[in-house]
Amino acid sequence: MISKVAAVATLLAAALGNAAAQEQVLNLYSARHYSTDEALYSNFTKATGIRINRVDADDAGILARLKAEGAASPADVVLLVDAARLYRADVDGLFKPVKSKVLEDAIPVQLRAPATADGTTWFGFSTRARVVVYDKIKVKREDVDTYEELADPKNKGKVCLRSGSHPYNLSLFGAVTEHLGEQKAEAWLKGLVANMARDPVGGDTDQIKAVGSGECQVAVSNSYYIARLMRSTNPEDRKLMERVGIVFPNQQSWGTHVNIAGGAVAKNSRNTAAAVKFLEYLASPEAQNYFANGNNEWPTAKGVKVSNPALTAMSGGGEFKAETIPIATVGANTVKVQQMLDRVGFK
């Protein structure tokens, strides 16, 4: 005969087993390596009861893992931080198209994948502008207020850039190619190479510091790196930002290039409904404001206003003219851009 204690233990174990089975878990593969995003995930869990199990890697690592895992992949949601990588993953069939009126109403059409009869595969949830940083003492603002001028002979020996093959630059170059056409874009890239003060090295923050130290006089950076320095309490960072000027290029023409961080439902997700719910949450005003204030990114959802003082100060009031070409087209151009880089000797 089973004792009362054993019976209770059996019932308790069964209850716990049922609770565990009923617990919803969302497997997230994320290239967003920002500690400030932790609140995004915990707030989603509090609101929905869905626990997030996160795997962190860079964009390339996540795509390689998804391909290696194939149909056995446990991933439900994929977050990447570059338009070219989102485009490539889509072409490789790693995403599942979804239909969501919430997402379609919130995210501008140029900041998401082209829709098909089956739905849309990926959506951009935040943007970062690719802006020009210059030495206010040695360079006139009007000499660097377009991307085209970075390749002008007047800026010979002044320019610092990170590797041309880095996704942030590939996306910028892909946008310029769309605006200028392939022939003119390749000539522009050749001019960039001719104007460099040194070989490409380091990340965006290194380029800003190189301008501040006098190693070069002009550089290009994602806007959130600049905002971090503007919000820093480090005296050296504040001194640096007093030395350098910031310009949003091409305000009188096509607008400043913006890249995106975006998300998609993984092709082999076994929890699609929860995955879509998470993407819809990322488009909510609460999450969008967190992108702006937590990692100094601009929200993509319509009607969400920026309250980050660094972003407001940087862009002269929080508003600037951004390019409107489809970000998917920018991603598609990066293959031909890489070939151009090889031909002009851009390392």
Note down the domain range covering 120. Answer: 24-127+260-314
Within a domain: 120: yes
Q: How far apart, in whole angstroms, are the C-alpha atoms of residue 311 and residue 319?
A: 9
Mean local confidence (pLDDT), 129-143: 97
**Over 50: is that where the pLDDT of 247 sits?**
yes
Q: Which residue has the higher pLDDT, 40 or 256?
A: 256
Single-letter residue type at 41? Y
Q: Residues 329, 230: one domain?
A: yes
For 164-210, how does the pLDDT look when each residue is reduced to its tens digit (9 = 90+)?
999 999 999 999 999 999 999 999 999 999 999 999 999 999 999 99
The size of the chain, in residues, is 347
Q: Do residues 134 and 212 touch, judged by C-beta distance below 8 A? A: no
* Per-residue pLDDT, 209: 97
* Per-residue pLDDT, 48: 95
Mean residue pLDDT across the chain: 90
Q: Residues 195, 272: one domain?
A: no
Within a domain: 184: yes
Q: Residues 235, 274: one domain?
A: no
Q: Residues 201, 245: one domain?
A: yes
Within a domain: 2: no
Within a domain: 8: no
Three-class DSSP category at 207: helix
For residue 118, the domain's CATH number is: 3.40.190.10
**Over 60: is that where the pLDDT of 7 sits?**
no
Within a domain: 16: no
**Over 80: is that where the pLDDT of 2 sits?**
no
CB atoms within 10 A of CB 33: 10
Q: Residues 181, 282: one domain?
A: no
**Over 80: is that where the pLDDT of 333 sits?**
yes
Q: Residues 221, 338: one domain?
A: yes
Q: Residues 232, 340: one domain?
A: yes
For 288-303, how does the pLDDT look when each residue is reduced to its tens digit (9 = 90+)?
988 888 888 999 999 8
Q: Do residues 283 and 106 touch, judged by C-beta distance below 8 A? A: yes
Q: Residues 327, 248: one domain?
A: yes
Segments of the chain assigned E as strands: 25-30, 51-56, 77-80, 95-96, 122-135, 159-160, 218-222, 244-247, 258-266, 298-299
| Bridging pattern class, strands 51-56 and 244-247 | unpaired
- Nearest CA-CA partner of 78 in 67, 70, 86, 88: 86
Q: Residues 222, 287: one domain?
A: no
Within a domain: 11: no
**Over 80: is that where the pLDDT of 230 sits?**
yes
Tell me the pLDDT band of 132, cut-offs 50, 70 and 90.
Answer: very high
Within a domain: 5: no
Q: Residues 213, 67: one domain?
A: no
* Per-residue pLDDT, 314: 85
Q: Which residue has the higher pLDDT, 81 or 294?
A: 81
For 18-74, how does the pLDDT look when each residue is reduced to its tens digit (9 = 90+)?
333 457 999 999 998 777 788 888 999 999 999 999 999 999 999 999 999 999 999
Q: Residues 243, 134: one domain?
A: yes
Mean local confidence (pLDDT), 117-127: 96
Residue 295 forms beta bridges with which residues? none
- Residue list, annotated binding site: 33, 224-225
**Over 60: is that where the pLDDT of 1 sits?**
no
Within a domain: 14: no
- Residue list, annotated binding site for Fe cation: 33, 224-225
Q: Residues 175, 280: one domain?
A: no
| pTM of the predicted structure, to 2 decimals | 0.87
**Over 80: is that where the pLDDT of 12 sits?**
no
- Give me the number of domains the chain comprises: 2
Percent of the chain scoring above 90 in pLDDT: 80
